[in-house]
Amino acid sequence: MPERNLAEWLTLLEARHPTEIDLGLSRVAAVWSSIEQRRRQQGNAISLPTAITVAGTNGKGSCLTSMQAIMVAHDYRVGTFTSPHFLHYNERICVQGQPADDWVIVAAFEEIELLRGDISLTYFEFGTLAALLVFVDAELDFMLLEVGLGGRLDAINIIDADVAVVTSIALDHQAWLGDTRELIAVEKLGIARPSRPLVIAEVDGPEGFDKMIAATAAQPFVIGKDFCLQIDADHFSLTVQTPDGESQCFQQLPTSGLLPSNKAAAIQALICAGVKLDNHKLIGALDKLGLTGRQQVLQVNGRRVILDVAHNPAAASVLAASLTPIAGRYTAVASVLDDKDWRGIIQPLRGIIAEWRIAEIGDSDRATKAQTLHEVLYNEGLKGALFASLEEAFDNAIAEAGEDDTVVVFGSFHTVTAVLNMQRQRDGCVI
């Protein structure tokens, strides 16, 4: 019997390291080296699956989810590591699209604990190492790794990506990554490796972006240049390039669900990884493919609800573009963490959202005070109301919504999680 169950482990990891975010590779790389050495000594040398690493301000999860669905449809064994989770930690570590069992994660935690010595690891670093161990033991063909923060100094980057993907570059996490798109781009591009494929899905890179890409010495595949998509109302076609310079074209791919540009980046990355793709299987994998908290639609007590984790101005702009005119009104339930540009987030939505319901995120020490959020709304001339909790704000929004209205919940993974946690315990929610 393990000394701790998964819940006990997670409580310990949350409290152990002095800071939630502690960028740098030396500590986590040292522990991984100890793990590799011990396994070699046991005659069980680690052989990693082909690694595809995804960085980007927005779109990482959509790109990774697309790759996972496509690879499962083509009968590859694939593991995915993502963050954060919504309801269960196990969501972070999946094999064939299924969350890892508690005991599998606990076994990985125990191995890490045995070998870390006096090295302190963050919650995320511990989880990264655990995911790698799960993937090694699962005998996978591929592992898909989502960067937690930035790229260059993120724990994921101890693994040399066979294919690197950068989905987008926008201002976010400036305290850690820099306050310009140029500085942030350098951090994202840090996952690239010389001579290996680097897929770029950013359509409007910062100044000097081409030189930054060249400086990585990777083999670039840039959207609009090396892979191109044409979008119609319900479908898009995609032309990609192989590492050998050959072109391939895929037709009638569905635009529904996740953004076509993220699907396109996923396909190009898989082609770069040597995956042979069938057009029919692609259509099946991508059709109606969705992701929790990404323009996710629920019906709650007969009212339409949209959940979206948009937490920076760029993501808010994408959300705003998706909110097409309706017979009724859009109302928002929102809250953000304290490093977010709240004023910038609300700008693209100010002509769309009729009323704002604000509360403070209850499960994070980094939450912005609700009063601060409300003051910004007031100064911007927007109609807002304060609530004691996100749950109360959401209940009020549903109660006050007309049959033609839509409630939009956004601002953070924490914000969406609060509503999901509440609704899974209640009737009247159809996901």
Per DSSP, the residues of 90-154 read: GGGEEETTEEPPHHHHHHHHHHHHHH-TT----HHHHHHHHHHHHHHHTT-SEEEEE-SSSSTTS
Whether 364 shows a pLDDT value over 90: the answer reads no
**Per-residue pLDDT band at 424 (split at 50, 70, 90):** confident
**Shared domain check, 248 and 173:** yes
**Shared domain check, 78 and 199:** yes
What pLDDT does residue 2 have? 73
Phi, psi of 126, deg, nearest 5? -60, -45
- Beta-ladder partners of 385: 357
**Boundaries of domain holding 310:** 296-430
Token code pair at residue 177:
């990554």
Whether 248 shows a pLDDT value over 90: the answer reads yes
**Shared domain check, 301 and 282:** no
Q: What percent of the chain has pLDDT over 90?
A: 85
The conformational region for residue 201 under phi > 0 = left, psi -120 to 50 = alpha, else beta, is: alpha
Contacts of 402 (CB under 8 A, 6+ apart): 328, 329
Please indicate, yes or no, if residue 1 is contained in any of the structural domains.
no
The residue-averaged pLDDT of 11-27 equals: 90
Q: How far apart, in whole angstroms, are the C-alpha atoms of residue 322 and residue 123? A: 34
**Per-residue pLDDT band at 314 (split at 50, 70, 90):** very high
**Shared domain check, 351 and 282:** no
Q: How far apart, in whole angstroms, are the C-alpha atoms of residue 92 and residue 83? A: 6
The conformational region for residue 43 under phi > 0 = left, psi -120 to 50 = alpha, else beta, is: left
When divided into structural domains, the chain yields a total of 2
What pLDDT does residue 127 have? 98
| Rg (the chain; Cα; Å) | 22
Q: How far apart, in whole angstroms, are the C-alpha atoms of residue 290 and residue 286? A: 9
- Residue ending a domain, among 286, 306, 331, is 286
What pLDDT does residue 128 have? 98
pLDDT tens digits along 171-187: 777 777 888 999 999 99
Q: Alpha-carbon torsion 228, 232, 233, 236, what sign?
A: negative
**Shared domain check, 161 and 254:** yes
The residue-averaged pLDDT of 145-165 equals: 96
Tell me the residue type at 415: T
**Shared domain check, 302 and 207:** no
Paired sense of beta strands 197-200 and 219-222, if any: parallel
Chain mean pLDDT for the chain: 93
